[in-house]
């Protein structure tokens, strides 16, 4: 992994955490830099960015409360995802992460080639969300 790719991943993470970059913008930047996917682990407060070669980059994310809930609540998680996709008033990425963890989401894996995000709970429950198809304003996920 080269220095430009590392810088791109860090900028995308920082942009998300500071509410300066949307999900589609992040996907575009990471794809252009040669990444194929990334994973967020709420329990370790980490992000891992993957290249097709198998090379990866580990970065620390914002942590904090709440802890990941025991029970996976797919409906509550989907509500948080919809808020992100529609950029609901007051939406923040940090707020999304808090709601996801409260819904029992331990993390998620974003696949660019698969066009989907796999959210998972502490007991391996899953919810798959396909990338939204932008029609008009850019959506965030």
- Judged against a pLDDT cut of 50, whether residue 24 lies above it is answered with yes
Q: What is the domain partition of the chain in residue ranges?
A: 3-130
The whole-number average pLDDT for the span 33-62 is: 97
Considering the chain, what percentage of its residues have pLDDT values greater than 90?
Answer: 82
| Closest among 43, 55, 38, 52 to 109, alpha carbons compared | 38
| Helical segments of the chain, H only | 3-17, 23-32, 74-85, 93-102
- Structure tokens given for 70: 């025991």
d(CA 14, CA 133): 24
Pairing of strands 37-41, 105-111: antiparallel
pTM of full prediction above 0.75: yes
Name 5's Cβ contacts closer than 8 Å, sequence gap at least 6: 33, 34, 35, 49, 51, 57
* Domain 3-130 indexed as CATH 3.30.1390.10: no
């Amino acid at each position: 992994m080269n220095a430009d790719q590392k810088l791109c991943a860090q900028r995308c993470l920082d942009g998300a955490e500071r509410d300066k970059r949307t999900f589609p913008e992040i996907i575009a930047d990471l794809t252009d830099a040669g990444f194929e996917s990334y994973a967020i682990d709420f329990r370790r407060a980490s992000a891992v960015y993957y290249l097709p070669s198998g090379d990866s980059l580990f970065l620390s994310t914002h942590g904090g409360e709440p802890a990941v809930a025991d029970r996976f609540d797919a409906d509550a998680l989907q509500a948080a995802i919809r808020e992100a996709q529609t950029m609901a008033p007051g939406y923040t990425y940090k707020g999304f992460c808090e709601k996801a963890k409260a819904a029992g989401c331990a993390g998620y894996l974003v696949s660019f080639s698969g066009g989907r995000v796999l959210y998972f709970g502490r007991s391996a429950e899953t919810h798959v969300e396909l990338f939204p198809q932008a029609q008009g304003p850019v959506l965030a996920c």
